[in-house]
Amino acid sequence: MLKPGMILCDRYEILDVVGAGGMSIVYKARDHRLNRNVAIKVLKPEFSNDKNFVTKFRIEAQASAGLTHPNIVNVYDVVDDEGIYCIVMELVEGITLKQYIEQNGRLNMETAINFSIQIASGLEAAHENHIIHRDIKPQNIIVSKNGNIKVTDFGIAKAASSNTLTSGAMGSVHYISPEQARGGYSDERSDIYSLGITMYEMVTGRVPFEGDNNVSVALMHIQNEMIPPRQYYPDIYSSFEKIILKATQKKPERRYLTASALIADLKRVQNNPNIDIVVAPTSITNSPTQEWTKEDVQAIRNGSANRDLYSQSYDNPPVSQEMGEIRPIGYNSTPQANSGRINELLQEDEDEWEEEYEPEPQPKRGNLKKVQDYDEDDEIEEEEDPDDIDPGIRKAVTIAGVATAVIIAIIIIVVLGNVLGWFKFGSKKDDKSKITTEQVQSIAMISVTGVSEDAALKMLSDAGFTNVKTEHVEDEKTQEGYVFEQSVQEGQTIPVDQEIVLKVSAGAEEVDVPEVTNYEDAQAVTLLQEAGFEVSHAYDYSDDVEKDKVIKTEPAGGTKAAKGSKVIVTVSNGSEKKEVEVPNLGGLTEAQARDSLTSKKLNAGNVTHENSDSVAAGMVISQNPARGTTVTEGDSVDFVISDGPEQKEKKYTASISGTITCNDAALDGAAVTVQVVFNGGAVYEQTVTVTSGGSYNITATVPNLSSQGGSASFVVLAGGTDVTSSFSVPAPNVSYSEE
């Protein structure tokens, strides 16, 4: 794993880990050359050491780097730095569609249609550039913060699918198309199928197929019909449901041919939810599911079946090579004993696949007219090319000609032989018919133990048996719906109309789960085992249930569960709260104090503020309880935050001075009053006896001012009359001092 601060290619600085997948780890990084943040997907060492995989990976990544579209995560660069292989991509702030569904539940119709159009638009751009994604799923779709959709990992899936990878590295098979699951040819329609499954999950909150392992899910994609979305939620638009059903048809030719056609229907539904969408009828054979052991698969590979499960004519291998690791429930035959049936089923299965899923010849792009969509009765219009004959048609014509010639030769031989007496058709005809009839009516029984009821009935019908009955019996060892016993043993020759009885598991008998809450663990185990259940344990803390007593069971007490099934008993570890020491919060900021308390599983209590001449503003002055005090986890600690020294209001004193001169002889010897006016108010008075031509100094002070600034003037009064005009009165000088 790369560490923050590392530099790749003297350009990309690793900042943080964004996430991890099966094949790679994604980092947030800084591109110092272009001064922008990017996402870097780094291959894990187990893939970086595979030169074949790395070569394919680089080729596909470079091809996807040519894609530029608003709904595709742009690829900027492909990097190789001393064995570290990675892709530099656009950094999209958001979450995956999978996380979006998990957080918000199933999406409303408007959002689901909007997201579907955006995803399909990204696929449309890729398909036009001859790039198939091959791994469309919600985990590879990013919902940005502004609601835009970005599809990522273009080209990577192809590199992965062309190498032998574990199922863990390849991710989930819940979205895989049937042709991919069978290891067949995949094209643009495979992406459309996977998008259809994604749309299904968007509106239902679930995937259509769930199984115990990847193999069972893959088989469901091949042969099981999905439950229509409206059976879960009737509020889903019928038209949108039809789009999903059309996109997820088993046969590729029944799906939308192009992403453009899918987008056209999505926009029609967006504009008019009541519009009708045509879906081609489903026609899938109900062939039985056959599962193999590793020995079976190895025997087939070694030539005992004279076939190769993994045909070299296909571009992609099967979804998982683990298919041979699962045996049917109740299956106890050796590989040698079943080799004939394996070959027979393998031949039937592959013949059916070749008939249903053989890739159609791709017409030249120049001759193909624009096709929006087609149904079962529609035709794709092509310009005729007399020299361009379909190899399949040529082969069919050749076979038909040979067959006709053989039939004509047989007819000639029979007629000629009858005329010349080569064949004797006479009295022994009835005897020969009788012998032939008797031979046809008695055939060897086959084994159907360990397969599903429907599959068993079809296998017996195909073998020629006409009188098969089933009995549903409770059985703890066999999965519900599977045959665990047959009345006629394998290999026994019987008439085709002889009654055959199959015992089918109805599941284990359901019994009541004892209520053991608050019981001692040992006592609870005894009661559950006596009721016929297996017991496993889980442990949890509880403030309400004493240590070593039962908190709950799963399934809950009082409900019914299959006899022999497992019951999980959750036992109390007692109260989870512990005693801790209160940390020292002094000198910490409020945020730091809260983090310190959280690390000790304590809570911040009452937080107050006060002035302090000794503690800087924003720092903790004091706390309660004091540091080092022992308290219980979950308790609260109060603390006081400093607002710094108290701010006192400043006061100022204004000093005013000036000189006045008497210019009026009439005022000789008169006593006048000189007023000092400051900011419009008289703040000082002084009585002066004046003589004509005499000058007099006037001074005054004005204390307790809140600010510096103001205007001052002198006014001269004689007997209450303003005689300022009889004096020379210049503007006073004003100065200020802080008190």
Predicted local distance difference test score (pLDDT) of residue 552: 93
User: 510-572: what CATH class?
Assistant: alpha beta
> Is the entire prediction scored with pTM above 0.85?
no
Question: For the chain, which residues make up each domain, given as ranges?
Answer: 7-90, 94-357, 429-505, 510-572, 579-642, 652-738
Query: Of 10, 77, 81, 135, which one is the catalytic site residue?
Result: 135
Cβ(67)–Cβ(75) below 8 Å: yes
User: 429-505: what CATH class?
Assistant: alpha beta
DSSP conformational letter for 199: H
In the annotation, is 135 catalytic? yes
DSSP conformational letter for 465: -
Predicted local distance difference test score (pLDDT) of residue 388: 43
Cβ(722)–Cβ(716) below 8 Å: yes
Those residues of the chain that have pLDDT short of 70 are: 21-22, 56, 60, 63, 155-172, 280-400, 414-440, 576-577
Predicted local distance difference test score (pLDDT) of residue 598: 92
Q: Under 8 Å CB-to-CB from 199, ≥6 apart: which residues?
A: 112, 116, 240, 243, 244, 247
Predicted local distance difference test score (pLDDT) of residue 537: 85
Predicted local distance difference test score (pLDDT) of residue 550: 93
Predicted local distance difference test score (pLDDT) of residue 341: 38
Integer Cα distance of 737 and 705 in angstroms: 10
Q: What is the CATH number of domain 652-738?
A: 2.60.40
Predicted local distance difference test score (pLDDT) of residue 77: 85
DSSP conformational letter for 257: S
Predicted local distance difference test score (pLDDT) of residue 395: 60
- Indicate if 579-642 has the same CATH topology as 7-90: no
User: Two tokens at 684?
Assistant: 């000082």
Could you tell me the fold of the domain covering 579-642? Trypsin Inhibitor V; Chain A (3.30.10)
Predicted local distance difference test score (pLDDT) of residue 387: 40
Predicted local distance difference test score (pLDDT) of residue 680: 86
H-assigned helices in 487-570: 521-530
State which amino acid sits at residue 263: I
Main-chain dihedrals φ then ψ at residue 20, nearest 5 degrees: -145, 145
State which amino acid sits at residue 630: T
Any idea which architecture 7-90 has in CATH? 2-Layer Sandwich (3.30)
Q: Which long-range contacts (CB under 8 A, 24 or more apart) does 118-122 make?
A: 118/71, 118/148, 118/149, 119/71, 119/149, 119/151, 119/195, 119/198, 120/195, 120/259, 120/262, 120/263, 120/266, 121/69, 121/70, 121/71, 121/259, 121/263, 122/69, 122/71, 122/72, 122/149, 122/150, 122/151
Question: Looking at domain 94-357, which of 3.40.50.150, 3.40.50.2300, 3.40.630.10, 1.10.510.10 is its CATH number?
Answer: 1.10.510.10
676 closest CA partner among 656, 694, 695, 690: 656
Predicted local distance difference test score (pLDDT) of residue 156: 56
- The pairing of strands 560-562 and 510-512 is antiparallel
pLDDT tens readout for residues 650-671: 888 999 999 999 998 888 889 9
The label of the residue with tokens 């001074």 reads: 699
Dihedral angle over CA of 76, 80, 81, 84, nearest 10: 100
